[in-house]
Structure 1
């Protein structure tokens, strides 16, 4: 953990105070690599856009009052372009990384805005930020979320999540409406178009009266196709991306957070982690088989407020280490409010009847991610925390916590029969021997 603040003031950059600073820090020691001062007000930011597009920028920052977008090179902090001529609509993440539509050999982007009466999409040049063609109406229904999906036939579809279900609209038809001829490099998917409406062109993917989340699986099948994981009010369903057929469904009570992925078994298919609210401040942590939807592992935890969602880190042994947050019922102190008790748990699939518990003296956790820092050796948690309540102003702290550094100080908890021959030292040594890798 390292304390850091902008090296120069807003006035130095000719900006009113308060202004917005974007900073990049070194993953090794937390030193500031660069800082970039921007106009207020901050709306949202998205970094890590699709690679190999020819774009020289990686982060897009959205400002409100007035509306403006700023493209930043994540390696240098250099501002490459600004866009302030768009209509004052409520554009939302994610930014969609689309193919080159204006012929300048640089991949372009699309922004989606939605309100109760309409949903619109606008294309921007990835090279200059200028608008390409006209804004396109995607319908008169408000959407909850949107994604860009690439099919096995080489077609792009914008996925529109509505309260009534999930629908798709071909990028081909959107580009054609934005500017005649701009769709020439795109095409429709014949399998998907079998489910398309003759009037709106919308492809019905899945109908539900309580659609909550849509997540694309983080790996592709043997056909190079990612599938669609859908969370509704009382179930989780996996839809095959190739032909939009239901692969499996799993009944739930109320899923608390966005599902995550990891390899629990060694069948080569990513398994799915969900948190199901079962009442009385208790959540059921479940790992579902990615192939069948069957339960591979589960445990109940007390749910602390603002607990991060589960995450995982892949190992060179073809399984993942899973990270959960909460409080084990056997470890809970009912005289202390759960708001002050934040614990993390590590699960090793080869020792599935055991959890490694760490007590974390952390304040409000704003963001958490388990990540690979150095192939083979180094995996860590990245946490952004605040001493203030959620939504309040105050100092935030970005810290890195090495996974293996917590092992000697962790407590081994038995969650069920089994692993009796393995001592606490054996369990900890199994974690210490781990080597980490990308998926």
Structure 2
């Protein structure tokens, strides 16, 4: 049976809706009466409005004060080009960069030998107890080339390491540690140039130094890394440990029990054990830092040892780690899958050795690698090793995949034996820009030198915007012809000792018996060093940045400001330490060199014009190392 209320609602539906409407109207009236009975509600609303506008006004006032009243800190203006000169001086193959004056721009450290310092400091060798001339360590501003500090540090420089962490009076600082001849050991504050400590070295009278200063873990528990110097005395390698914070020798001399050559390296195994590696004849020898520390002190060492490495070392006498195909010329630590691997460059091949089990991962036959390889990214985030195989007109640049040893890119680039070391800088696209040195005016901008099949050569005129290829044309054609390049009617601009390649330079070709000779017919001291830049995004192009006629002692490509600008730093001076002359330190911003550069095409054609290539190099952004 249906309920009576349901039945009524079904018979009179509109009547039921009217009742609900009356109930809702009644509830709304009661609500309004209750609101009218609360007089504090309008006051609360006004307070909220005032608080909102007041906070908005305060925020705008703060923004105004920060933006217009409080001055922003001055950003130092970094000059694109600067140069400083020292007369009647000699210099050393050493360049380092560090932010010394804390202006967020890298500064430059170098050594030179002279009777007196620069006019800004009026320091002489006798002020520090040295006879004249002596070795000065100097720091110059990377922004404008002004001298920040300089100080006589040794009678004659032998080894230098910058920076080395220091603890002085409870504060942390950094130093340049310099081992001088005869027998000085000095640390100079990196930021002020003050001498932190100075001691006579304890090397034997007939000792010859084999290595650079190697930074070791803190073995004497004084809070600073310690230092190791390897020497050879009576055909036996010995090691000297020194405290990094005081310069005092730790223990006595420790013999490694084997003869060796220069080029030592500190390697950390995947187990965290430290080993000293050095070439010995046609092999790679090693010594545990833990074992050396225990030998020189007669006490236990806090350092670790690696059982696998110890087994390999103890299985042979002398302590050999690897038998190399030929004499070892260079030894490098390179990133591996599990820690660091070893790259060995011998007189016959380049070999990548696994850093744990010492097994070869790949071998590349290269018989004339006379320069230390460099690392860079040919592909995004994939490391490549760059080697220079051959000398003179037979020199080749090869990019090898670090993980497989496969050739990624190669190019003939004739050079001089005195050319500086190549360099690389990471770019924002996770590749690298590579800087190479070669012969001045390898190819003309208006003519191409082509190699014939016999003993003859010929030239072919080209359009002005087209550029020649560097390939077989850079080879020697035969006994009666030299594919040299004699500059005629050249147009160059000289700035600060550097000659920029002009857009209208032309080259001529002369036979070996003619009066005009190519660059390869000149003496090395008369030839010019040419700086080229290469980026993997343009694999068919080299950019000739500048030409230098001075003797270049050291060269670095440096990112002076993070993500802002890269520059080339050159240390130039006399070729012989026995003939003092002009010593110069110069900086050249890479982007400023690009507009006047010369585009050298490595292959025929190309989708971009020369100006488009320059524009792409000008837009390159550089990044700091991770």
Which among 312, 325, 347 is matched to residue 208 of structure 1?
325
Distance 2:172 2:345 in 1: 33
Distance 1:116 1:295 in 2: 43
Which among 136, 161, 180 is matched to residue 279 of structure 2?
161
Q: 1:272–1:290: 8 Å Cα contact kept in structure 2? A: yes
Q: Which residue of 2 aligns with 1:299?
A: 411
1:62 aligns with 2:249: no
Shift of 1:193: 2.5
Q: Which residue of 1 aligns with 2:570?
A: 383
1:369 aligns with 2:482: no
Shift of 1:356: 0.6
Q: Which residue of 1 aligns with 2:137?
A: 22
Distance 1:200 1:175 in 2: 20
1:337 aligns with 2:449: no
SS at structure 2 position matched to 1:93? coil
1:2 aligns with 2:83: yes
Q: 2:369–2:387: 8 Å Cα contact kept in structure 1? A: yes
Q: 1:24–1:35: 8 Å Cα contact kept in structure 2? A: yes
Q: 1:375 to 1:92 in 2, by over 3 A?
A: same
Shift of 1:14: 5.2
Q: Which residue of 2 aligns with 1:397?
A: 584
Distance 1:198 1:246 in 2: 19
Higher helix share: 2
Q: 1:232 to 1:199 in 2, by over 3 A?
A: closer
Q: 1:170 to 1:336 in 2, by over 3 A?
A: same
SS at structure 1 position matched to 2:595? helix
Q: 1:144–1:163: 8 Å Cα contact kept in structure 2? A: no
After the TM superposition, which residues 202-281 of structure 1 pair with which residues of structure 2 at under 5 Å, given as runs? 202-217=319-334, 220-223=335-338, 225-266=339-380, 268-277=381-390, 281=393
Q: 1:231 to 1:244 in 2, by over 3 A?
A: same
RCO higher in 1 or 2 (8 Å CA, sep ≥ 6)?
A: 2
Shift of 1:357: 1.1
Distance 1:295 1:116 in 2: 43
Distance 1:85 1:137 in 2: 17
Q: 1:176–1:182: 8 Å Cα contact kept in structure 2? A: yes
Task: Identify the range of structure 1 (298-307 vs 375-384) with the bigger mean alpha-carbon deviation.
Answer: 298-307
- Structure 2: tracts of 5 or more residues without a match: 1-81, 86-116, 445-483, 487-516
Q: Which residue of 2 aligns with 1:187?
A: 304
Distance 1:131 1:344 in 2: 44
Shift of 1:116: 5.2
After the TM superposition, which residues 112-123 of structure 1 pair with which residues of structure 2 at under 5 Å, given as runs? 112-115=230-233, 117-123=235-241
Shift of 1:101: 1.6
Q: Which residue of 1 aligns with 2:295?
A: 177
Shift of 1:114: 1.2
Q: 1:200 to 1:170 in 2, by over 3 A?
A: farther
Distance 1:390 1:27 in 2: 27
Distance 1:109 1:366 in 2: 26
Q: Which residue of 2 aligns with 1:84?
A: 200
Shift of 1:57: 4.1
Q: Which residue of 2 aligns with 1:290?
A: 402
Shift of 1:36: 1.2
Q: Which residue of 2 aligns with 1:323?
A: 435
1:434 aligns with 2:549: no
SS at structure 2 position matched to 1:299? strand
- Structure 1: tracts of 5 or more residues without a match: none
For residues 148-204 of structure 1, give each alpha carbon's deviation from its aligned partner in whole angstroms, at most 9, with x where no partner exists: 111111111111211221122111111111123341x11211232232224758251
**Higher Rg:** 2
Distance 2:600 2:371 in 1: 24
Task: Identify the range of structure 1 (307-316 vs 50-59) with the bigger mean alpha-carbon deviation.
Answer: 50-59
SS at structure 2 position matched to 1:274? strand
Q: 1:70–1:79: 8 Å Cα contact kept in structure 2? A: yes
Q: 1:51 to 1:42 in 2, by over 3 A?
A: closer
Structure 1-normalised TM-score?
0.91
Shift of 1:424: 1.1
SS at structure 1 position matched to 2:611? helix
After the TM superposition, which residues 121-140 of structure 1 pair with which residues of structure 2 at under 5 Å, given as runs? 121-140=239-258
Q: 2:243–2:249: 8 Å Cα contact kept in structure 1? A: yes
RMSD over aligned Cα, in angstroms? 2.3
1:72 aligns with 2:259: no
1:97 aligns with 2:215: yes
Distance 2:194 2:608 in 1: 53
Q: 2:165–2:173: 8 Å Cα contact kept in structure 1? A: no
Distance 1:51 1:260 in 2: 29
Distance 2:162 2:435 in 1: 24
Shift of 1:115: 4.0
Q: 1:215–1:228: 8 Å Cα contact kept in structure 2? A: yes
Q: 1:272 to 1:41 in 2, by over 3 A?
A: same
Q: 1:274–1:286: 8 Å Cα contact kept in structure 2? A: yes
SS at structure 2 position matched to 1:263? strand
Shift of 1:50: 6.7
Q: 1:55–1:127: 8 Å Cα contact kept in structure 2? A: no
Q: 1:284–1:300: 8 Å Cα contact kept in structure 2? A: yes
Q: 2:156–2:181: 8 Å Cα contact kept in structure 1? A: yes
For residues 26-82 of structure 1, give each alpha carbon's deviation from its aligned partner in whole angstroms, at most 9, with x where no partner exists: 1111111111123413323222347999974432212213x1111112121121111
